[in-house]
């Protein structure tokens, strides 16, 4: 069996959507003839913990963990004990002088990101490891994109075929404009990105728009494998509907994706509708979201469930009447496909997407006949969605199963290792 080294920051017990992609690849790669070897931090500062997330991984999976130094403990000490993890901390509005200072340091000292201290020690360790335990390919998956610098240095030193996997864009990532980078820092970040794109054997993107943008930037082949859903997570019968009209959102709910028109429409619906309305929020929710819901007279309809493990979040999705997926209200969010979109599809519940109607998410929802995508300010479109009976996913979504996506990945690894 061929071996592939996967270098990742997010790995169980990390929760959230960022870890799902490679947990599922690691689960299914052996049946495609590839043995993954995972390299991950030993003491990472994960924002969410899910002790169940790695239960499906084979017991024989080799996981190498090495210490990482991160500046977040220093940051929290500087900010004070009461500092909270805001969903959109970088892009939040008015900041104290301490927050402005910390952002300047984050932007200009830790390039490309605060995990960059892990690069040097990891390269030193992995050079020795790979000489003693060769692999046919290396994959780095970001963000954080500093992991790609590990892959770049290993590829140059050892010549092993290497694929940087981009779960999000790099220099085009929407929140970078909120960082107070100097011109010199911006050039450094752009140069890092270009070096990774140009020196890779093949680049891997997760959305067609990001694939197109990267391919216009480099001569290196750029492949695309989207995120997806694991059919085994949906094998049990769907929960029965509880008689309420459940408008459900799972995952991070950030204030720069606050669907103000949605709350307005729901607040203005007839009393007969609102009598059965429940707004079910799973995961971390910014305060501004709750304030906007309350301002529209909907506070009594909210059910806050907090962070749930992956299986419980899927049960909530499958029990929903409608699943809402508001994107962050930013032009640079157009190429991004939220990972939860594919589990929304597999839940076979109607989806109301809110964001760019010509963006990557809108393409997938339309192709799958899974609901509608409306613009943030399209109050009439939102009202129309609720006034007509929302229809569940009708299209063929088989290509998004984790097994099929892993087969695509195996073919890519075969091609570069040959």
Q: Tens of pLDDT along 58-107?
A: 889 999 999 999 887 666 565 554 444 455 556 555 667 777 888 898 89
Residue 301 clears pLDDT 80, i.e. is over it: yes
Torsion from C-alpha of 341, 166, 33, 123, nearest 10 degrees: -140
Q: What is the pLDDT of residue 84?
A: 47
Under the banding of pLDDT at 50, 70 and 90, the label for residue 178 is confident
Question: What's the pLDDT score for residue 83?
Answer: 45
**Whole-angstrom Cα distance, residue 105 to residue 380?**
44
**pTM of the complete model:** 0.91
215-267 pLDDT, tens digit per residue, is: 999 999 999 999 999 999 999 999 988 999 999 999 999 999 999 999 999 99
Domain spanning 2-228+402-417 has what CATH number?
A: 3.40.50.2000
Strands 371-374 and 351-354: parallel
**Range from 99-103, 111-115, 399-403 carrying the lowest mean pLDDT:** 99-103
Question: pLDDT at position 79, please?
Answer: 53
* Domains 2-228+402-417 and 231-398 belong to one CATH topology: yes
**Average pLDDT across the chain, whole number:** 93
Distance CA 105, CA 118 (A): 17
C-beta of residue 5 within 8 angstroms of C-beta of residue 126 = yes
Is domain 231-398 classified as CATH 3.40.50.2000? yes
* CA geometry: angle 193, 197, 200, nearest 5 deg: 130
Helix (H) or strand (E) holding 132: helix 119-132
CA atoms of 371 and 327, how far apart (whole Å): 15
Name which of 235, 238, 230, 233 is nearest 398 in CA terms. Answer: 230
Helix axes 360-367, 340-347, angle to 10 degrees: 20
Note the pLDDT of residue 335: 92
Residue 127 pLDDT exceeds 90: yes
Give tens-digit pLDDT for 313-371. Answer: 999 999 999 999 999 998 889 999 999 999 999 999 999 999 999 999 999 999 999 99
Question: Pick from 100, 80, 21, 11: which is nearest to 48 by CA?
Answer: 11
CB 19 within 8 A of CB 10: yes
Contacts of 396 (CB under 8 A, 6+ apart): 368
Model confidence pLDDT, tens digit, residues 39-62: 999 999 898 899 898 899 988 999
Instruction: Tell me the CA distances in angstroms from 203 to 153, 216, 401, one per residue in order.
Output: 16, 12, 21
Q: Is there a cis peptide before residue 13, judged by omega within 30 degrees of 0?
A: yes
CA 330, CA 177: separation in Å to the nearest integer? Answer: 11
What average pLDDT does the segment 378-403 reach? 91
Domain boundaries, given as residue ranges, for the chain: 2-228+402-417, 231-398
Burial of 305 (0-12, 13-18, 19+ CB in 10 A): middle
């Amino acid at each position: 069996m061929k071996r592939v080294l996967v270098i990742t920051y997010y790995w169980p017990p990390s929760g959230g959507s960022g870890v799902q992609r490679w947990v599922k690849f690691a689960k299914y790669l052996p049946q495609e003839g590839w043995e993954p070897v995972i390299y991950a931090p030993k003491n990472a500062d994960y924002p969410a913990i899910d002790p169940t997330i790695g239960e499906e991984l084979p017991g024989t999976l080799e996981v190498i963990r090495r210490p990482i130094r991160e500046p977040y403990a220093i940051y929290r000490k500087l900010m004070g004990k009461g500092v909270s993890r805001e969903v959109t901390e970088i892009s939040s509005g008015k900041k104290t002088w301490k927050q402005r200072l910390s952002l300047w340091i984050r932007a200009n000292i830790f390039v490309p990101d605060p995990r960059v201290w892990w690069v040097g020690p990891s390269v030193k360790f992995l050079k020795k490891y790979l000489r003693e335990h060769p692999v046919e390919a290396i994959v780095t998956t970001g963000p954080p994109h500093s992991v790609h610098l590990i892959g770049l240095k290993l590829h140059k030193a050892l010549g092993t075929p290497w694929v940087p996997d981009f779960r999000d864009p790099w220099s085009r990532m929407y929140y970078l404009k909120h960082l107070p980078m100097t011109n010199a820092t911006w050039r450094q970040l752009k140069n890092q990105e270009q070096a990774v794109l140009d020196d890779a054997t093949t680049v891997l993107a997760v959305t067609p728009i990001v694939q197109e943008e990267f391919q216009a930037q480099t001569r290196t082949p750029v492949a695309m494998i989207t995120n997806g859903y694991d059919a085994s997570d949906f094998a049990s019968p769907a929960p029965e509907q509880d008689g309420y009209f459940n408008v459900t959102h799972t995952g991070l709910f950030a204030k720069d994706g606050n669907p103000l028109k949605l709350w307005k429409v729901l607040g203005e619906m007839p009393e007969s509708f609102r009598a059965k309305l429940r707004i079910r929020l799973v995961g971390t929710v910014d305060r501004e979201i709750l304030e906007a819901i309350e301002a529209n007279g909907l506070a009594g309809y909210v059910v806050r469930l907090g962070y749930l493990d992956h299986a419980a979040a899927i049960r909530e999705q499958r029990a929903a009447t409608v699943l809402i997926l508001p994107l962050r209200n930013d032009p640079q969010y157009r190429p991004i496909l939220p990972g939860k979109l594919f589990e929304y599809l597999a839940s076979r519940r109607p989806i109301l997407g809110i964001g760019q109607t010509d963006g990557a998410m809108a393409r997938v929802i339309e192709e799958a006949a899974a609901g509608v995508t409306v613009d943030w300010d399209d109050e009439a479109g939102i009202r129309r969605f609720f006034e007509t009976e929302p229809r569940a996913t009708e299209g063929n979504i088989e290509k998004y199963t984790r097994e099929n996506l892993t087969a695509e990945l195996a073919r890519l690894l075969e091609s570069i290792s040959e």
